[in-house]
Amino acid sequence: MKDHLSVWDNCLVTIKKSINPQSFKTWFDPIRPVKLDQSSLTIQVPNNFFYEWLEENYVGLLKKTIRKELGEDGRLEYQIVVDNHTDATLHSNERGNNFYSTEHIRNPFVIPGIKKIKVDPQLNPKYRFENFIEGDCNKLARSAGLAISKNPGGTAFNPLVIYGDVGLGKTHLAHAIGNEVVSKFPKKSTLYISTERFTNQIIESIRKNSINDLVNFYQSIDLLIVDDIQFLSGKAKTQEIFFNIFNELHQLGKQIIITSDRPPKSLEGIQDRLISRFKWGLSADLQSPDFETRMAILLAKMELEGVTIPPEVIEFISYNVKNNIRELEGVLISIVAQSTLNNKEIDLILAKQVVESFVSEVNNEITVENIKELVADYFKIPLDKLQGKTRKREVVIARQLSMYLAKNHTTNSLKTIGDQFGGRDHSTVIYSCRTVQDLMDTDILFKDTVFELEKKVQMTISSAQ
């Protein structure tokens, strides 16, 4: 006399011979047989995503094994654990397919109380291939990105590791690939995540005993973009979890993109098994742009901002600002701001003043702390409020403005800026800068406030020379 335990054990013997050990461990070890009712076996799975994945990827194998054990009329029904307490049983409809009605797996990117139908890719819509200027300094990485955007997961560039110094466009290119995939393949789930935010999610999931839900969520992503992977250094538990996610995604033909400030071989504090996997695909570096590329970047930025600058000024900037793209664009923005605020004509004299000031800023660097003090004084807000957790509107605006100015007037990385505002992460700084820019585009009074603060920052820089 067969029972549900023996039937499922026999099924597992067949399944284990048909798939690789890692997939078996991930998708079949957690399943528990519940009951056997004549020719219908009920199994319990951890969540809805688990059920959907089995039906989408292993339905043929399951059908074959069940019929082998229970005959041609053999059927499989599911019982889903909901909220770790309630079970929702899935029955078979007239066509023999399973249907269900219950909650979806918890999505770590959904704000509590707000229901989301699909994953928010967390991408910056302004970062696209159209405004990522190609040059010898980035041709390999950009070409690989374009190839991936046409066939994510289907090229030899998996994973794609984009590495280089600060301000050379790593994040821009990663977002550009993501935006292109979202546009061309709307049914594919795409997600951008900073390493800091990923680590925080791991910590929170461990605290809430929901790590399996988080892992299952990430293993459902078709294109995963992880920014600043070097910050995994020394975080053994996070590396272990990311290793498992990476393996499953790669095995399933899902696309992985990673950015870093150094090549995989130079990453410190990261397990050898992870580094070896980073080398499976393509590692492409971004270098400082040459003169022609710097010229092209400035011309594209001018077109985007709708400003006209004499050719000799553009040439002068391109010759004298060589470190990275962020500095290059910073000089252009500063020249336009100086011209607008002081009603000056944009010429070589003004350009020389701004470039000299910018170079001095690098050498006698204005700090994030300087900017925080300036903004706090302007808004008459205690300095400690800027790095606190208060959500009062005037404090939030001052904090976002401080991050915006820090990004534009210091050489600090986004992570370093976020750290100095109460340990906020990379994506918070990006969001703050985007919010400030959006408000400037729609609110003239706010734009005047920003210009006034920009002027104060410039005066601070001048006094430091």
pLDDT digits (tens, 9 = 90+) for 32-48: 898 888 888 888 887 76
Residue 56's SS3 state is: helix
User: What is the arithmetic mean of pLDDT over 347-367?
Assistant: 67
Residue 260's SS3 state is: strand
Domain-embedded: residue 450: yes
pLDDT digits (tens, 9 = 90+) for 136-174: 888 889 999 999 999 998 888 889 999 988 878 899 999
Residues 273 and 306 in one domain: no
* Bridge-based pairing state of the strands 255-260 and 190-194: unpaired
Residues 330 and 447 in one domain: no
pTM of the shown model: 0.51
User: What is the arithmetic mean of pLDDT over 116-143?
Assistant: 81
Between CA 388 and CA 386 the distance in angstroms is 6
> Residue 314: how many CB atoms within 10 A of its CB?
18
CATH code of the domain covering residue 448? 1.10.1750.10
Dihedral pair phi/psi, residue 246, rounded to 5°: -55, -50
Residue 86's SS3 state is: strand
* Cα-Cα-Cα-Cα dihedral sign, residues 429, 224, 140, 129: negative
Question: What's the DSSP call for residue 366?
Answer: P
Residues 270 and 185 in one domain: yes
> Is 318 or 394 the better-scoring residue by pLDDT?
394
Residues 340 and 225 in one domain: no
Residue that is last in its domain, among 305, 337, 363: 363
Domain-embedded: residue 124: no
Instruction: Give the position of tokens 């809805």.
Output: 48
pLDDT computed for residue 194 by the predictor: 92
| Neighbour-count burial of 457, counting CB atoms closer than 10 A to its CB (0-12 exposed, 13-18 middle, 19+ buried) | buried
Tokens coding 247 = 């393996």
Q: Considering the chain, what is the average pLDDT of its residues?
A: 81
pLDDT computed for residue 259 by the predictor: 94
**Which residues have C-beta within 8 Å of that of residue 73, sequence separation ≥ 6?**
39
Between CA 4 and CA 337 the distance in angstroms is 74
pLDDT computed for residue 163 by the predictor: 92
CATH code of the domain covering residue 256? 3.40.50.300
**Which residues have C-beta within 8 Å of that of residue 314, sequence separation ≥ 6?**
295, 298, 299, 302
Nearest in space to 433 (alpha carbons), one of 126, 20, 49:
126
Residues 135 and 252 in one domain: yes
pLDDT computed for residue 185 by the predictor: 92
Q: How confident is the model at residue 1 (pLDDT cuts 50, 70, 90)?
A: low
Instruction: Give the percent of the chain with pLDDT over 70.
Output: 87
Between CA 88 and CA 46 the distance in angstroms is 11
Domain-embedded: residue 112: no
Domain-embedded: residue 190: yes
User: What is the arithmetic mean of pLDDT over 227-234?
Assistant: 90
Give whole-number Cα distances, 434 to 208, 286, 447, in Å. Answer: 32, 24, 14
> Residue 55: how many CB atoms within 10 A of its CB?
16
Dihedral pair phi/psi, residue 107, rounded to 5°: -105, 120
Q: Does residue 283 surpass a pLDDT of 50?
A: yes
Question: What's the DSSP call for residue 194?
Answer: E
> Is 279 or 50 the better-scoring residue by pLDDT?
279
Residue that is last in its domain, among 35, 59, 90: 90
Residue that is last in its domain, among 318, 339, 363: 363
Residues 142 and 259 in one domain: yes
Residues 57 and 175 in one domain: no
Between CA 248 and CA 128 the distance in angstroms is 28
Where residue 364 falls (left for φ over 0; alpha for ψ -120 to 50; beta otherwise) is beta
Tokens coding 66 = 């069940």
pLDDT digits (tens, 9 = 90+) for 56-93: 778 888 888 988 888 888 888 888 765 433 344 444 33
Question: What's the DSSP call for residue 98?
Answer: B
Residues 179 and 234 in one domain: yes
Where residue 257 falls (left for φ over 0; alpha for ψ -120 to 50; beta otherwise) is beta
Residues 182 and 259 in one domain: yes
Residues 144 and 253 in one domain: yes
CATH code of the domain covering residue 319? 1.10.8.60
pLDDT computed for residue 358 by the predictor: 64
Domain-embedded: residue 342: yes
Tokens coding 178 = 């993501």
* Bridge-based pairing state of the strands 255-260 and 160-164: parallel
User: What is the arithmetic mean of pLDDT over 203-217?
Assistant: 83
Q: What are the start-end ranges of the H helices in 219-290?
A: 236-251, 272-278
pLDDT computed for residue 361 by the predictor: 41
Tokens coding 346 = 């944009």
Question: What is the rounded (10 degree) CA torsion for 108, 153, 180, 246?
Answer: 30
pLDDT computed for residue 465 by the predictor: 46
Domain-embedded: residue 373: yes
CATH code of the domain covering residue 73? 3.30.300.180
Residues 323 and 296 in one domain: yes
Number of domains in the chain: 4
Residues 259 and 358 in one domain: no
Determine the angle formed by the axes of helices 139-150 and 170-184, rounding to 10 degrees.
20
Angle (nearest 5°) at CA 134 between 132 and 135? 140
Residues paired with residue 78 on neighbouring β-strands, in sequence order: 43, 90
Domain-embedded: residue 117: no
Domain span at residue 397 reads 368-464
pLDDT computed for residue 400 by the predictor: 92
Domain-embedded: residue 385: yes
Instruction: Give the position of tokens 């970047």.
Output: 297
Q: Outline where DSSP puts E strands in 40-176.
A: 40-45, 75-82, 86-90, 160-164
Give whole-number Cα distances, 458 to 34, 244, 380, 421, 451, in Å. Answer: 70, 48, 20, 22, 10
Between CA 454 and CA 450 the distance in angstroms is 6
Q: How confident is the model at residue 464 (pLDDT cuts 50, 70, 90)?
A: very low
Nearest in space to 169 (alpha carbons), one of 297, 71, 265:
297
Q: How confident is the model at residue 420 (pLDDT cuts 50, 70, 90)?
A: confident
pLDDT computed for residue 359 by the predictor: 54
